[in-house]
A and B are shown apart, each in its own frame.
Chain A
Amino acid sequence: MAVKEQVSAATRISTGTEKSRRRFPWGKVGRYTAVVVIVFICLAPLYWSFATAVKSGLELNASPPTLFPHTFSWENFASDFALSTFTRDLLNTTIIATITTILALVIGILAAYAIARTKFHGKGFVLGLTLSVTLIPFIAMVGPLFVAFTGPIPIYNTYTALIIPDLVICLPITVWFMTSFFRDLPPDLEEAARVDGASRMRALWTIIVPLTAPGVFAAAILTFIAVYNDFIFGLTLTADEAAQPITVGVSRFAGEHTIPWGEIAAAAVIVTVPLAILVLILQRRIVSGLTAGAVKG
């Protein structure tokens, strides 16, 4: 059409840039200042955790605090790992997060397949129910769970006690993500497989899931991080290092007289740096997964 040609011509002349980008309105200086400020604010606490973790003894108590560590020692890290409850907490979190992620993925993929590929009554109900979980304040769930797990279902202070609530808070992630990815997948390949005689389940697990592997990956990571983040269920449903996650373990670090800041900072580094590296390596998948899910939602 004539209008569209005019528009494209005008664009080529005036901007000369690729058509899918908007100019940030404040010019180059504003833009670079914003970049510096944003990057600094985002990374500063991570730097401070690391700096505090490698300081030792007197320098930790220095007032005013030293911007760059004068002493450099790994003793806080060593002290953390020497603490048996600390390493046990790390193990707890890893196991709980892994099992929850696997369960949430399997259950979520089944539901997502049904929603994306089949017809049935109540699709809206299932999607709405899954979404409504994200609107619940977790504190409203802990009372009865605590009573149940210290009474008729005696699993208080075990992995199961945490896997159960963590699973439910992760189902919205897996269901919505995988539904979005399955919907985007053209049905040709699975239809071909089913014509060849494969059952629906076989088509799901041997064709659809491998094809949507980036989505599965992104959902797995987001679920893992969500479980890692849990604090309130860990706090109320465990009592000690038998099952407490690292988030709760670090909060129970505080000593009788002084708070061991060096050890806490070292713990923060130990917990966060692997997560940060994981997130950075997989950032493209995560961002595309989040944005895809958000748009479809």
Chain B
Amino acid sequence: MATQAVKAEAVVTSKRPTLRERLDLGNGYTPYLLVLPTVIAILLIAGYPIVNSFIQSLQDNPLSTSPNFVGLQNYVQVFQSSEFHSAVAVTFGFTIIAVFLETVFGLGIALLINTTFPGRGLVRAAILVPWAFPTVISAQIWYLMYNDRTGIVSYLMQQVHLLPRGGTLLQSANGIILASIITDVWKTTPFMALLLLAGLQVIPSELYEAAGVDGSTKWQQFWSITLPMLTGPLLIALLFRTLASMGVFDLLYILGGNQVESMASFSYNYMFTRSTFDFAAGVTASMVLFFTGMIIALLFVLWMRVAQR
């Protein structure tokens, strides 16, 4: 028919789709407009400062009106600073131990809550309490409890001879790190527990029933069913917690001040509490922290890819 012939001609002679037509997958431009505020906000408010921090870390006096580019000189300086070495050691030690403990305890609590028993609701409610404390407020309450004379935690530790009379965890660098770990584990284990609980609840119960029929013990079921099926959520939770722990600031600011610094509080001290000449070192340290975090995130993503095979 005539219209069909016209249509056939139109198909034969039509051009390649333009960019505008390629973008439109059936909903027009609306989707792009809808996500635009989110994308712009993130690129502008998070992306720009990161890029700018990096540029500042390559400059001599970034706060002045005409800064000089000095390449990686700041990085060399920072990497040679023993104070920075300590901060790195503190950060890594804190992260590894705290994340390990949070994961183990969190898994235990998740396994517990995943069963039914009287008091289950009480546990589920109680573990939300540490989470309701703002981080820095919990740091200050724990600081109070660690006090050498009036602190209840110090008193109890003295009673069981973990500390000498009148002693406190806060009197030594290692003690401060340990105190930070304890406080952090208290605060974030509930969060890990909830994430892992989500992962546990997805595991089909038929798997356990079939294994039970086959005669395997609870231990065997844990290792051969629970853990493998939990790997996905576990790795995701580990990634977030590890990066968050590396950036630890509030805790070390309150408990460690200038004496024991994490990489983040080191950066803060150099950027804001010292002379303007030290600002560059602080920014550089924060960039080292950022890049370290990116590398670790990359490693985790690779691990997750491998684990999914």
Task: List residues of A whose CB falls within 8 A of some B CB.
Answer: 4, 6-8, 10-11, 14-15, 17-25, 31-32, 34-35, 38-39, 41-43, 45-46, 48-49, 52, 60-65, 67, 107-108, 110-111, 113-115, 118-121, 126, 129-130, 133-148, 164-165, 167-168, 171, 175, 200, 225, 228-229, 231-232, 235-236, 247-248, 250-251, 261, 264-265, 267-268, 271-272, 275-276, 278-280, 283, 286-287, 290-292, 294-295, 297
Identify 20 residue pairs between A and B in the complex whose beta-carbon atoms are under 8 Å apart, listed by A's number: A25-B222, A42-B127, A45-B142, A62-B150, A110-B35, A111-B37, A115-B35, A118-B27, A118-B34, A121-B23, A129-B43, A133-B46, A137-B289, A138-B247, A143-B286, A146-B271, A168-B45, A231-B134, A267-B137, A295-B198
Assess whether B123 is interfacial by the CB under 8 Å rule.
yes
- Which of B126, B147, B198 meets A292, CB within 8 Å? B198
Assess whether B307 is interfacial by the CB under 8 Å rule.
no
Q: Which B residues are CB-close (under 8 A) to A107?
A: 37-38, 41
Q: A141-B49, A143-B53, A294-B194 are in contact. List 5 more A-B contacts (CB 8 A).
A: A31-B115, A134-B243, A140-B287, A261-B144, A291-B197
- Which of A49, A114, A133 meets B141, CB within 8 Å? A49
Nearest CB in chain B to that of A25: its residue: B218
Q: In the complex, what distance in Å separates the CA atom of A261 from the CA atom of B125?
A: 28
Q: In the complex, what distance in Å separates the CA atom of A13 from the CA atom of B37?
A: 57
Contact yes or no, A236 B126, CB < 8 A? no
Nearest CB in chain B to that of A166: its residue: B45
Q: In the complex, what distance in Å separates the CA atom of A279 from the CA atom of B264?
A: 29
Contact yes or no, A291 B198, CB < 8 A? yes
Given A65-B155, A136-B50, A129 contacting B42 (CB threshold 8 A): yes
Q: Which B residues are CB-close (under 8 A) to A147?
A: 52, 62-63
Q: Which A residues are CB-close (under 8 A) to B195?
A: 290-291, 294
Given A7-B210, A23-B115, A236-B268, A130 contacting B38 (CB threshold 8 A): yes
Q: Which B residues are CB-close (under 8 A) to A148?
A: 49
Binary interface profile of B, 148-166, with partner A (CB < 8 Å = 1, else 0)?
0111100100000000000
Contact yes or no, B123 A39, CB < 8 A? yes
- Which of B34, B50, B272 meets A111, CB within 8 Å? B34
Contact yes or no, B131 A279, CB < 8 A? yes
Nearest CB in chain B to that of A264: its residue: B140
Q: In the complex, what distance in Å separates the CA atom of A287 from the CA atom of B113?
A: 12
Contact yes or no, B135 A229, CB < 8 A? yes
Give how many B residues have a beta carbon under 8 Å from the other chain's beta carbons.
Answer: 110
CB distance from A9 to the nearest CB of B (A): 9
CB distance from A145 to the nearest CB of B (A): 5
Contact yes or no, B144 A7, CB < 8 A? no
Q: Which B residues are CB-close (under 8 A) to A294?
A: 194-195, 198-199, 233, 236-237
Nearest CB in chain A to that of B194: its residue: A290
Assess whether B30 is interfacial by the CB under 8 Å rule.
yes
CB distance from A183 to the nearest CB of B (A): 15
Contact yes or no, A276 B145, CB < 8 A? no
Assess whether B109 is interfacial by the CB under 8 Å rule.
yes
Contact yes or no, A144 B138, CB < 8 A? no
Contact yes or no, B249 A232, CB < 8 A? yes
Q: Which B residues are CB-close (under 8 A) to A46?
A: 129, 133
Q: In the complex, what distance in Å separates the CA atom of A11 from the CA atom of B125?
A: 31
CB distance from A258 to the nearest CB of B (A): 11
Greatest chain A CB density within 10 A among B31, B199, B212, B271 is at B31
Given A119-B31, A144-B48, A231 contacting B149 (CB threshold 8 A): no
Contacting residues of chain B (240-259) with chain A, CB-CB under 8 angstroms = 240, 243-244, 246-247, 249-250, 253-254
Assess whether B186 is interfacial by the CB under 8 Å rule.
yes
Given A39-B123, A107-B37, A114-B31, A286 contacting B128 (CB threshold 8 A): yes
Contact yes or no, A231 B48, CB < 8 A? no
Q: Which B residues are CB-close (under 8 A) to A15?
A: 212
Q: In the complex, what distance in Å separates the CA atom of A159 from the CA atom of B25?
A: 40
- Which of B49, B126, B239, B254 meets A145, CB within 8 Å? B49
Contact yes or no, A120 B212, CB < 8 A? no
Assess whether B306 is interfacial by the CB under 8 Å rule.
no
Q: In the complex, what distance in Å separates the CA atom of A138 from the CA atom of B135?
A: 15
Nearest CB in chain A to that of B127: its residue: A42
- Which of B186, B202, B213, B271 meets A41, CB within 8 Å? B186
Q: Which B residues are CB-close (under 8 A) to A292?
A: 198
Given A120-B23, A228-B134, A292-B198, A165 contacting B52 (CB threshold 8 A): no
CB distance from B287 to the nearest CB of A (A): 7
